[in-house]
Structure 1
Amino acid sequence: MMILIIVVSALLSVNAATSCVKNTSADSYGLTDLQLGTQSLVMETGQSEKISVSAVPATANQPGFQWSSSDENVAIVDNGMVTAIAEGETTVTVSYKTIRKTVAIKVVAPEVDKTLAVLFDKRLSNIQQPELILNDVARYTSQGLTITGTTNTVKLDKFYALAERKIQYHIKLSADAKAVFHSSEKDFNAFVDIPNKKISIATNPVTEKKVDFLKGDREYIVEIYHVYQQAKLRITDVQTRQTTEISAVNDGQGGVGKGALQPGFGVGMQWDYYCFGLSSGTSMLVKRITVSALKKKVKLLLYGDSITQPEGYFPAKDFHLAWTQQVISRLGGNAMSSGRGGAQIDMVMNYIKNELPFIKTEYVMVTIGTNGGNTEAKLKELVGYIKSNGSIPILNNIPSNESGTQVAVNDLVAKVRADLNIKGCRFDLPTSVDGDGKTVDKSSMYWEDYSGSYGWQVYHHPNEGGGVKMFQQTLLDLPDLYR
């Protein structure tokens, strides 16, 4: 009997030891299957998506999984993060020992709105982009540009002034993030506020809207539009395609200081460089940035300073009478303007180089010199650049103004036109008293009182009456434009 007890005890000890050894092996995870978050993905080139995987049963420990792509020329995978490389199809496999699951991946070309002219388009990853100034608040990762600092914003170092344009951001925000999108001059500020579930434009009073579908760690397309006097913010959930937007219309004062016709309603012209980042919160991931003109082919592009940007000073009710708007209307909308208040010829050359090469246009009209800076060499360089892009240059005289500086500027412009055998419009004639381009016709201009800032008063920007006269002058001087 004693021998039997010893044998049984030994057998029990061996079984217990064997059981212990088995439970400390890799099979101790208790994993019987894998559960994937998706069975298939359709992705655009450059896009990244995370495939979630969990152990079955849920109580099982989750080991490290093996990941692979059947065609790494189409898409690669790193610990579940799939990055689309090129158009095509591949299969991503995740495995643990003998258990294998697959996800079908189809990579397609990005959707492009063929009515738009793409001025700038970058997918952001580990490769540094020289056009982006990070200002010590962001770094490049495999997923995109990750912003974590709130002391500054990232700047797109490309100058745009086109009055019909938008910038589009593909982003992901943490649950506590409030993102800001502003101009480099900070005249325009827009926000996407995840914790408070709202979007807003910083007008006075603020223009805002509740957005119930906003949540953290979701991908969104944010679009900021500038369409003459209107600014618009649109946001779209990439996964659900839910979308909403807000807009505000700039209502110019019709003059400055005591000369203003009305208080106006400031929205911002979105000068001059796009900036974006975190107003508050933990993180903001930016995957792609695209700047587009809203038309890719027009008969005419109008360039210049504030005279070509009446949306900044015209009352909204009279804006249709601004000379640029009358020209565009006469052409049936087949034109766009691009002006920047305070611009000199060097600034115009800067943003014309960022816009003109991407828009097919027959004519390019330039009205520059109100703020000085013109030289014969610079004007001829500008005309030559327009011709090199396959367009016909039109170089206008600047309107008359109370300072009388237009006379010498227009003599120079006339000389360049004669030397290069190009056409232009004599805007100084209809805005002068005797039609000689010398003494300003004050009835055609807004009175602007800058005594509190620059110390002078001046009749300077064309009002609705001046706008009509300038448009009518284009009919006389440039009839070919309207044929």
Structure 2
Amino acid sequence: MQRITIFLMLALMSVSAVLPAKGGTKPAVLLDLRFDKGEKPEFVKLNGAAGYSEGGLALIPGESLVKIDKFYALAERKACYRVTPSEDAVLWFRSSEGDFTAELDVPSRKVRILTSPATEADVPFLEGGKAFDVEVYHIYNKAIVRVSAVKGSGSVAVEAVNDGPGGHGAGVLQPGFNVGMQWDHYCFGLRSGTSALVSRVTVSSLKKKVRMLIYGDSITQPEGYFPADKFRFAWTQRIISHLGGNAMSSGRGGCTIVHVLDYIKNELPYIKTDYVMVTIGTNGGNTEENLSELVEYILSQGCIPILNNIPCNESGTQIPCNEVIAKVRAKYGIKGCMFDLVTSLDGDGKQVDKNQMFFEDYWKEWKWLVYHHPNWVGGDNMFKRTLVDVPEIYE
């Protein structure tokens, strides 16, 4: 078993001991489910994995999972589960897409992130019949699972860092280490054992107030593919660093504007921010109607929208997409960053500069040679373009 970084802490220690200190660190509660108070919301899908009881949600052993049907993509968030397991219980906490799984193993007294090989830590105070808080953090390319005794002083955390390959096929820069991005809905269940009771589930943003939130697809989620040693040079991280940590991103690889319209409503209303920057369109769906709906929603939350042009790519799909984006910007009198200009060969937004993109070789699978995820060169140019087009975000 691989042990990457293991923290052993007293329960009274601040969570900031394992979290970034920059920016506003006061959390914002996005969702608080009190199963011990009799709450039975329709968006909690039991799927045969649990039943309601007087003390909370009683889990049923098996491969099925309870699903919280609320979409989250915020890159600085946590889910906290208050659980009371039996002595033989093995619980798992999983993303709905299965890219990330954590496990609480009471018989072995261990907590694990099921990477390959697994990342685990001993939890010597873990025992059946007692209540524990299991906190699952997603912090950009980092996952932390923290187990704390509700009564007592025991607390243990285990950490794993996603190390992206950079490209695909012939474009791979390194093997990397996959941890998972915790896509899209929180799921949990009792993998084996007699019983486990879940009395409360809370989803939180790690920051309650920031200067800007950054929304988009995989281009706004470089933590999924960027090598860890270069991650600080990704364009989102350059912006966040330049703001002293006073910003957060919320990107979801493979998503469209329809997905953003879904999950932004579960995040933005609970976080105080001045600006909302959106870079969306790589995967299609950018109709004037959809873009207008997104802009109007951001305005309704008292925020200033920034609607960026998407960067150049190998197939040139950014050209018609950016024409629609420009039309919507003009319609609402809002600004955006010309990311297509700085990622093109001639500075005209037409032909992609391949030196600024990771090379993704999907020729064997789909006859594709892809250049549309900015590397550290493209990221530097995109960041610098924000200084030109929207300097006010840094004031």
TM-score normalised by L of structure 1: 0.76
Asked if the contact 2:25–2:207 (Cα under 8 Å) also holds between the matched residues in 1, the reply is: no
Q: Which amino acid aligns with 1:398?
A: I
Q: Aligned ranges for residues 244-323 of structure 1 at < 5 Å?
A: 244-323=156-235
For 1:133, the equivalent position in structure 2 comes to 45
Counterpart code for 2:148: T
1:205-234 residue CA offsets vs partner (Å, 9 max, x unmatched): 110111111111110000000000000000
CA drift at 1:457: 1.1
Instruction: Please state how far the C-alpha of 1:397 moved relative to its aligned partner.
Output: 0.2
Which residue identity does 1:324 align to in structure 2?
T
- Say which one has the larger Rg: 1
Find the counterpart in structure 1 of residue 392 from structure 2. 480
Report Cα offsets for 1:32-66 as digits up to 9, x if no partner: xxxxxxxxxxxxxxxxxxxxxxxxxxxxxxxxxxx
Aligned residues: 371
Q: Residue deviations 1:55-105, cap 9 Å, x none? A: xxxxxxxxxxxxxxxxxxxxxxxxxxxxxxxxxxxxxxxxxxxxxxxxxxx
Q: Which residue of 2 aligns with 1:118?
A: 29
**Deviation at 1:481?**
1.0
Instruction: Give the superposition deviation at 1:453.
Output: 2.9
Runs of 5+ consecutive residues of structure 1 not aligned to the other structure:
1-112
Do the aligned residues in 1 keep the contact of 2:81 with 2:201 (CA within 8 Å)?
Answer: yes
2:67 is equivalent to residue 155 of structure 1: yes
With a CA cutoff of 8 Å and minimum separation of 6, indicate the structure with the bigger relative contact order. Answer: 2
1:214 aligns with 2:126: yes
Q: Is contact 1:169-1:223 (8 Å) kept?
A: yes
Alignment partners' CA distance in 2, 1:410 and 1:378: 14
Instruction: Give the residue type in structure 1 aligned to 2:33.
Output: K
**Pairwise CA RMSD:** 1.1
**Aligned twin of 1:165:** 77
Q: Which of 290, 300, 315 is the aligned partner of 1:388? A: 300
Q: Where does 1:157-236 land on structure 2 (aligned, <5 Å)?
A: 157-236=69-148
Residue 243, structure 1, aligned to residue 129, structure 2: no
The within-5 A match list for 1:375-454 is 375-454=287-366
Q: Which residue is equivalent to 1:9?
A: none
Percent identity among equivalent residues?
A: 59
Aligned residue among 368, 379, 383 for 1:471:
383
User: Could you tell me how far apart the structure 2 residues matched to 1:337 and 1:129 are?
Assistant: 28
In 2, Cα distance between the equivalents of 1:337 and 1:421?
Answer: 24
Deviation at 1:114, TM superposition (A): 8.3
Q: How far apart, CA to CA, are the structure 1 residues paired with 2:25 and 2:271?
A: 12
How far did residue 127 of structure 1 move? Answer: 3.9
Q: Which amino acid aligns with 1:215?
A: E
Whichever residue aligns with residue 245 of structure 1, its letter is: A
In structure 2, the residue matched to 1:357 is 269
Any idea what SS the aligned residue of 1:466 has? helix
Structural mapping, 1:104-115, within 5 Å: 115=26
Q: 2:4 maps to what in 1?
A: none
- Which secondary structure state, in structure 2, belongs to the residue aligned with residue 115 of structure 1? coil
One-letter code of the match for 1:336?
M
Task: Give CA-to-partner distance per residue, 1:443-473, whole Å, 9 cap, x none.
Answer: 0000001123333111110000000000000
| Shift in Å, 1:119 | 0.3
Structure 1: distance between partners of 2:288 and 2:77: 31
Question: Separation in 1 of the partners of 2:309 and 2:319?
Answer: 9
CA distance in 2, matches of 1:238, 1:410: 52
| AA partner of residue 452 (structure 1) | K
Structure 2 Cα separation of the partners of residues 161 and 290 of structure 1: 15
Q: Which 4+ runs in 1 deviate beyond 4 A? A: none
Paired letter, 2:26:
T
d(CA) in 1 for partners of 2:142, 2:66: 24
Q: Secondary structure at the match of 2:33?
A: strand
Corresponding position of 1:145: 57
Question: What is the TM-score with the length of structure 2 in the denominator?
Answer: 0.93
How far off is 1:284 after superposition? 1.3
8 Å Cα contact 1:127/1:140 also seen in 2: no
SS in 2 for 1:158: coil
Q: Structure 2: 5+ residue runs without aligned partners?
A: 1-23
1:176 positional shift: 0.4
How far apart in 2 are the matches of 1:127 and 1:179? 22
C-alpha change, 1:452 and 1:275, in structure 2 (3 Å) is: farther
Q: Distance in 2 between matches of 1:460 and 1:188?
A: 25
Q: Secondary structure at the match of 1:277?
A: strand
